[in-house]
Amino acid sequence: MSEKELEKIYKALANKRRIAILKYLRRVSDAAVGDISEEIKLSFRATSRHLSILANADLLDKNQQGLSVFYFIPLNKKQIVSRLLSI
């Protein structure tokens, strides 16, 4: 992993809401934006912004089903995310 990729990941993790999102998704596998926003007690819009930052850091992936967008931790990132969250 390059230094630039690491920097992007660490910046994405530098927020308690984003850490809470990752912990939640690690526990439930995947969830819609609305469910995530309820879990972390944040507005839909703010949650979407946090999810976008995590996705841009390649820590999350998304799947659109109708009008809902579901986010999940990709298989190839689960081990990295678990390690990062255990620190």
pLDDT tens digit string along 26-68? 999 999 999 999 999 999 999 999 999 999 999 999 999 999 9
Give the side-chain half-sphere CA count within 13 A for 37: 14
pLDDT of res. 87: 80
Indicate if the alpha-carbon torsion angle 30, 86, 75, 53 is positive or negative: positive
**CA–CA dist 50, 42 (Å, integer):** 10
The encoded tokens of residue 84 equal: 């990062």
The phi-psi region of residue 58 (left if phi > 0; otherwise alpha if psi is between -120 and 50; otherwise beta) is: left
Q: Mean pLDDT, to the nearest integer, of 62-78?
A: 94
CATH architecture of 3-86: Orthogonal Bundle (1.10)
Q: What are the boundaries of each domain within the chain?
A: 3-86
